[in-house]
Amino acid sequence: MLGTLDGEIRWQFELCFKTHIPGKNQPNIMKSSGSLGEALAVGVLFGIVLLLVVTPIIYSGFKKRQRHQELSGIPVGLSDAVTGESAVVSGTVSSQSGHIESPYRSQNCALALWDMASLNRSNGTQWVSRGSGMTGNELVITADSGHVPVMNISQCRNQTTTAQMIQSTLFPDATSGLAFLRKELRRASFERRFRPTDELPDRYRSHTQEIGFDRTTRESSDTLGTILAKLLIPSGTVRYRELTFRDGDEITVIGKRTRDGIAFEPAESIQPVVVSASLSSLLSRYRRQYLFQLYGSAASVLLFSGLIGYLVYP
């Protein structure tokens, strides 16, 4: 019985001694710390990769925020605008020196906005801009303050270079010249497409040559190409869009204040704009877009990075 008691005391002593020996519980702590560090590392790594993916969206949101701030500080009307600085005029448009024909539909109008793009499927599906611009004569805007002449708006054209195509694809810039055309034409416009096997009408062909775009063509498609063409728009398809302003249509012009009116020219590093929406609507559009693209994308990166770290942590 004494031996049994002695053995019990010895067992309790060893248990107590092992429990209080420094470092005996350290492996569990190190394991927990290591797991937490690994989870943080995985979350940070995933966040960096995801941030690289959404960088073009964040950059686009940043440029739209910059555009919103620029337009918010422009005086509305000519009474508060200083000659040589930016100004905004809204009202109904009319032609001061005769109407023009729109480039694609041959419609009589005061002003026409247009662009041309080709479909590229080599790296996903994407419409690549080949040229854009405006066609019109001297205009007059009937605003609350009276009749405001609009100068230097005729035959504004932008032939898209390779560098511009890459930049607009990866990093859309809302502050660049004629950037408003893409948004305006996407919102409401006439559109017509021609596949590589289609013959262009004379008006479209001449306008394409003026832009300097060498269109990809082929006489016919093989059997597989014919089947796929019924399901997908083939690569090399060209798209033509235009939006016309006729006498009496609502218009907003942002440009440089002149002595007699407004000119379609940059002022204070702010690019000129011609849109059918009011300035308040334009600002609301930019605000929604930059809130979603800039702050929404950044918040999504943090959220998903934290979620991945949480799932990795045991």
Assigned domain for 27 exists: no
* pLDDT single digits (tens) 155-185: 666 655 555 555 555 556 666 667 788 888 8
The DSSP letter of residue 64 is H
Question: Residue 18: inside a domain, yes or no?
Answer: no
Q: What is the pLDDT of residue 15?
A: 45
Low-confidence residues in the chain, pLDDT < 50: 1-6, 9, 11-13, 15-31
Q: Is the dihedral of CA 74, 147, 264, 151 positive or negative?
A: negative
227 found inside a domain: yes
The answer for residues whose C-beta is within 8 angstroms of residue 58's C-beta and 6 or more apart is: 51, 293, 294, 297, 298
Per-residue model confidence (pLDDT) at position 108: 92
Identify the DSSP state of 237.
-
Sign of the torsion angle spanned by Cα atoms 137, 141, 147, 153: negative
Residues of the domain holding 232? 74-291
**Whole-angstrom Cα distance, residue 50 to residue 304?**
9
Q: Is residue 108 part of a domain?
A: yes
How far, in Å, CA of 74 to CA of 81, rounded?
8
Helices 297-312, 26-72: inter-axial angle, 10-degree rounding: 170
Residue-level pLDDT at 90: 92
Say if 36 falls within a structural domain: no
Per-residue pLDDT tens digits for 93-137: 998 878 889 999 999 999 999 999 999 887 777 888 888 888 888
Burial of 304 (0-12, 13-18, 19+ CB in 10 A): middle
The distance of Cα 243 from the centroid of its chain, to the nearest Å, equals 20
Instruction: State the pTM of this model.
Output: 0.73
In a domain, 82, yes or no: yes
- Containing 176, the helix (H) or strand (E) segment is none
In a domain, 250, yes or no: yes
Q: Are 219 and 197 in contact (CB under 8 A)?
A: yes
The whole-number pLDDT of residue 180 equals 83
* Bridge partners, 150 (sequence order): 139, 262
Tokens for 71, please give them.
């337009």
If one counts the domains in the chain, the total is: 1
In a domain, 221, yes or no: yes
